Amino acid sequence: MNERVLSEIEVLIIEDDPRIAEINRRFIEKVDGFTVCAIATNEFEAKLQLDVLRPPLVVLDVYFPDTDGLTLLSFIKQHYPGTDVIMLTAAKEAETVVQAVRAGVFDFIVKPLIFERLRATLEEYARFRRQVTTWQEEQSTVEQSEIDSLIQSAGTGRMAGNGVGELWAKGIDKVTCDKVLDLLNRRGEVTTGTVGIELGMSRSTARRYLEYLVESGDAHHDQVYGTVGRPERIYRRQRRDA
């Protein structure tokens, strides 16, 4: 099994209409880094799949014949706090949105589902998970700019497009970013440690800029394991086809 498959984010779809569920599956799997691990069409199947698969992400509809999505959302947050939820619904009632936000939904998308909107949310979610994983595996402290960036990613109702101005607002400075990219161009491959030493910044700051370069398509990374088995990411310049 290759590294790409190992790093894919598994998604459980909870949708009572099998046809819509299949459309959602196709949309989700068109986004690089995501795979659908199962589809549940009722409350029983949903709870069974949650218990067996423990997926990191659920795409959840609001209306079901035997329950409702808000009830399932509360159940997920109570019993599976490590699972995040994106809600899809044809409803636009303000109270439904408010309840979903208060319950901790990652995003709330109104049907009919537009692929570009879903893709933007999934890409933002992937960035959110990368940052959380970095904190859990490599950092004991965090900087304010990192906290701001994480909260912005996890915020509900954002427009998930990544314009330049939005990215600079997330703690990315253009001058520093250009220096990191220049170093990557000269070295061919770098780690957070080498960037930190060369440019005089912390590993966590280096990681944030390198992950931005990955997100923007200027770099890619591979996961490697050192002599003691601790994972480390090697960042390489992304080759662009002419």
pLDDT in tens, the chain (242 residues): 334 334 799 999 999 999 999 999 999 999 999 999 999 999 999 999 999 999 999 999 988 888 889 999 999 999 999 999 999 987 667 778 888 888 889 998 888 888 888 998 998 899 888 888 877 777 667 777 667 666 666 654 443 333 444 444 456 777 788 889 999 999 999 999 999 999 888 888 898 889 888 887 889 988 877 655 667 889 998 765 54
pLDDT of residue 163: 42
> What is 3-119's CATH superfamily?
Response regulator (3.40.50.2300)
User: 209-213 contacts: CB < 8 A, separation 24 or more?
Assistant: 209/172, 209/176, 209/177, 209/180, 210/180, 210/184, 210/235, 211/127, 211/130, 211/131, 211/134, 212/167, 212/172, 212/177, 213/177, 213/180, 213/181, 213/184
pLDDT of residue 139: 67
pLDDT of residue 149: 66
pLDDT of residue 51: 97
Domain ranges of the chain: 3-119, 124-237
Specify the CATH class of 124-237 in words.
Answer: mainly alpha
